[in-house]
Amino acid sequence: MSEPTAARATKTVEDTRITLAQVMMPKDANFQGTIHGGVIMKLIDEAAGVSAYRFCRRRVVTAHIDQIDFHHPVQIGTLVTIKASVNFAGRTSMEIGVRVESEDLTTGETAHTNSAYLVFVALGADGRPAPVPELVAETDEERRRWREAEARRERRPKAGS
């Protein structure tokens, strides 16, 4: 008789939500005072990585980044807020949705500057893909995001192809 398998841990989307905020400084900008796209992309990857790590509580690596569109430029002195949470979880990978907003601290005006979807893979101590918890989508919005993430997953190139 085989031993029973351990039940897969569960986490809610709320368990994975994080918000990072940072004021953009001259070191982050080009000579025209606009923040480098690479700085924003790094913040997106960091926020997604923290959300993924919070979800599975193990080392994670970025496996895929979907298209990132820049809707509005970000200027020096602007507060950038990055919100991330897990949208979907497979066996060893997860999709994290990230939204970036900028705020002019003088006027209070905000703008949605970027959205991105990133796929992370959890790694075990041996450096190989490791299981992640089951994600529980509790709200209609979370279930919608799960369905959309599944559709994106089907469209993504398969590893090794």
Confidence at residue 160, expressed as pLDDT on a 0 to 100 scale:
53
pLDDT at residue 2 greater than cutoff 50: no
Share of the chain above pLDDT 70, in %: 94
Confidence at residue 161, expressed as pLDDT on a 0 to 100 scale:
45
In this structure, which amino acid lies at residue 106?
T
pLDDT at residue 28 greater than cutoff 50: yes
Give this prediction's pTM.
Answer: 0.90
In this structure, which amino acid lies at residue 111?
A
What are the φ/ψ torsions at residue 17 (nearest 5 degrees)?
A: -70, 135
Confidence at residue 3, expressed as pLDDT on a 0 to 100 scale:
40
Q: Are 98 and 115 in contact (CB under 8 A)?
A: yes
pLDDT at residue 142 greater than cutoff 90: yes
Which residue, 152, 84, 80, 151, is CA-closest to 115?
Answer: 84
Please report the domains of the chain, with CATH numbers, ordered by start residue: 10-155 (3.10.129.10)
pLDDT digits (tens, 9 = 90+) for 41-96: 999 999 999 999 999 999 999 999 998 889 999 999 999 999 999 999 999 999 99
pLDDT digits (tens, 9 = 90+) for 115-132: 999 999 999 999 999 999
